[in-house]
Amino acid sequence: MKVFDHPVHVMLVHFPIGLLPMELVLSLLAYKLQDPSFATAAFYCLIGGVATGFIAMLTGLLDLIAIPKTNKIALSTGLLHGFINGTAVLVYSIFAYKAWQAYPQVHAPSLVLLLMKSLLVLCLLFGNFLGGKLIYKYRVGINKM
């Protein structure tokens, strides 16, 4: 999907890529320092990362549908990329829902929650690697050079 010849998915993914790991960093600081301002900042990163993550998922799905069925390697890489990052955004959305219910009483996360978020960030890193592979190796979603 393109707007004014610019790939929309490629433009949008930078927001959840930046906001969700930043949410982990701020949550770690909130846990370590017991400062509610870090927990509040993490909450806003979480909400922004999930919201933009869902939009990026929709535009990525449109790019996935456009991959020719004959390009099986790119198609399977795209499916794996979408599954990993989509699952991560869905799990993060559960965390966001629970945090939204508690708002404005935002608290520092537990150690178990921090470990789960760390695992999700690692999943996002691998999923993003696959997304980069789709762009740079298979030229998905961008013009051919």
Per-residue pLDDT of the chain (145 residues; tens, 9 = 90+): 778 878 899 999 999 999 999 999 999 999 999 999 999 999 999 999 999 999 999 999 999 999 999 999 999 999 999 999 999 999 999 999 999 999 999 999 999 999 999 999 999 999 999 999 999 999 888 765 3
pLDDT of residue 55: 97
Rounded Cα distance between 65 and 75, Å, is: 9
SS3 state at 67: coil
Both structure tokens of 56: 């990026």
pLDDT of residue 4: 81
Both structure tokens of 26: 């701020």
CA-wise closest residue to 131 among 69, 93, 88, 70: 88
pTM beyond 0.75: yes
End-to-end CA distance of the chain: 18
CB 77 within 8 A of CB 134: yes
